[in-house]
């Protein structure tokens, strides 16, 4: 398919004027981002933190800013419970289970509280009934294995069936190197994940279920007369940290999924296989601090605003407004914003009909010639066909605008 490639000369003014300017096929004048009077030093490499594998991810874009062995398959220990949380939250959102459901504590769940990763338990009573919402608190804050199993059994009928949901949702999220064999994270064959996959999952939890994610910022929770503290040391160390989950077994080492928000920026750090509770906290904090200090996020284009209005043939309108579905954000190293380039790849000939939301082309972002993001360019409105005579006239006119015979009149 022949493509028309348009270069958008200024990214900085996108939020205000790029839609109108590009629609008129006149690129806007660059508006420089304010820079320091004196040049900034080059961005240093990321810190060499303690961990078998780790990932620093920008929440807004999902870009991995720094990593070590991000796709190494490792035991996730109680980090598994992030997926358990995600599945239960998704099933609540779908109306399959409810926060007010009374959940029966089976013998299997009760015994699970004293086994597995580190014996983490919410001290649930055998054959008691506990509201689903309270079990989520026990799962996330206390890391209760008994809570995890009880939630799995209630949500899917059995823990085995629940792992099918876990792996199904993992596939939907793009977690290509994970397989879950239980809901709590206790060591078992064929139960693994990666730092990158856990980062993808963590970002999805924050985005899709913010109210449930907020539970991970709570510092303690009491059940059955026993108060237990959240094991994420960063909650006490830095007020910008609001999650996510710890994990530990002898084989997995000390693991931590952490997130912090400063202003409009949020960072996610995943550390797997660290050597102690303190070093995993230090590692995650060092990574997030590096991200906040040396990277910057910019909104380039507004969602649902025209970036181009190319010629439309055989339509009731003679133009088709094209744009992006959601705001386009990009995160780059400090000082690299001016190096970004954007192009629109649009088919040379557009023939009606088109439906709103249909992908028509691609917005491509590059930095120093390397791809940064490819974003679908969609129709912002329905574009129905013209009547018979309108289509006939455009068919005739297309003979003069194309080096090949156009499609027959529809």
Residues annotated as catalytic (active site), given as ranges = 78, 81, 143
User: Which residues on neighbouring strands pair with residue 344, listed in sequence order?
Assistant: 6, 363
Classify 227 as helix, strand or coil.
strand
Instruction: Output the CA torsion sign for 150, 151, 153, 157.
Output: positive
Would you state the structure tokens that stand for residue 143, as one six-digit string? 């890391």
Report the distance separating Cα 393 and Cα 408, nearest Å.
Answer: 12
Contact (Cβ atoms closer than 8 angstroms) between residue 383 and residue 320: yes
Counting Cα atoms < 13 Å in the Cβ hemisphere of 378 gives 16
CA distance linking residue 9 with residue 337, whole number of Å: 13
Angle between helices 80-93 and 195-208 (to 10 degrees): 30
Joined together, the tokens standing for residue 329 give: 């954000």
Report how far residue 115's alpha carbon sits from residue 73's, in angstroms, rounded to the nearest whole number. 23
Contact 274, 256 (CB under 8 A): yes
Contact 364, 348 (CB under 8 A): no
């Amino acid at each position: 398919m022949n493509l028309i490639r348009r270069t958008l000369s200024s990214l900085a003014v996108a939020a205000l004027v790029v839609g109108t300017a590009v629609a008129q096929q006149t690129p806007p004048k660059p508006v420089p981002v304010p820079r320091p009077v004196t040049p900034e030093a080059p961005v240093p490499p990321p810190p060499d933190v303690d961990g078998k594998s780790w990932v620093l991810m920008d929440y807004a874009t999902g870009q991995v800013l720094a990593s070590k062995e991000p796709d190494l398959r490792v035991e996730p220990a109680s980090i598994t419970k992030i997926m358990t949380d995600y599945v239960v939250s998704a099933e609540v959102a779908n109306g399959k289970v409810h926060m007010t459901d009374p959940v029966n504590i089976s013998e299997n769940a009760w015994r699970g509280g004293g086994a597995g990763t580190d014996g983490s338990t919410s001290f649930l009573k055998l054959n008691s009934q506990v509201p689903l919402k309270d079990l989520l608190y026990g799962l996330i804050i206390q890391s209760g294995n008994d809570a995890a199993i009880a939630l799995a059994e209630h949500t899917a009928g059995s823990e085995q069936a629940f792992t099918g949901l876990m792996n199904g949702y993992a596939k939907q999220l793009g977690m290509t190197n994970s397989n879950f064999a239980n809901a709590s994270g206790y060591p078992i064959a064929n139960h693994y994940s990666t730092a990158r996959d856990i980062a993808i999952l963590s970002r999805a939890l924050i985005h899709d279920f913010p109210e449930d994610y907020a539970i991970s910022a709570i510092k303690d929770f009491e059940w059955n007369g026993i108060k237990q503290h959240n094991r994420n040391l960063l909650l006490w160390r830095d007020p910008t940290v609001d999650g996510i989950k710890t994990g530990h077994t002898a084989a997995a080492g000390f693991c931590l999924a952490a997130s912090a928000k400063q202003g409009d920026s949020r960072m996610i750090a995943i550390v797997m296989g660290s050597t102690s509770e303190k070093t995993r906290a230090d590692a995650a904090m060092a990574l997030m601090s590096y991200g906040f200090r040396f990277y910057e996020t910019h909104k380039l284009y507004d969602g649902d605003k025209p970036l181009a209005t190319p010629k439309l043939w055989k339509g009731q309108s003679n133009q088709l407004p094209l744009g992006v579905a959601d705001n386009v954000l990009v995160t780059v190293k400090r000082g690299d914003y001016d190096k970004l380039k954007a192009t629109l790849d649009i088919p040379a000939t557009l023939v009606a009909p088109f439906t709103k939301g249909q992908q028509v082309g691609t917005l491509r972002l590059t930095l120093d010639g390397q791809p940064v993001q490819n974003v679908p360019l969609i129709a912002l409105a329905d574009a129905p066909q013209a009547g018979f005579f309108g289509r006939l006239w455009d068919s005739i006119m297309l003979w003069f605008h194309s080096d090949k015979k156009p499609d027959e009149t529809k």
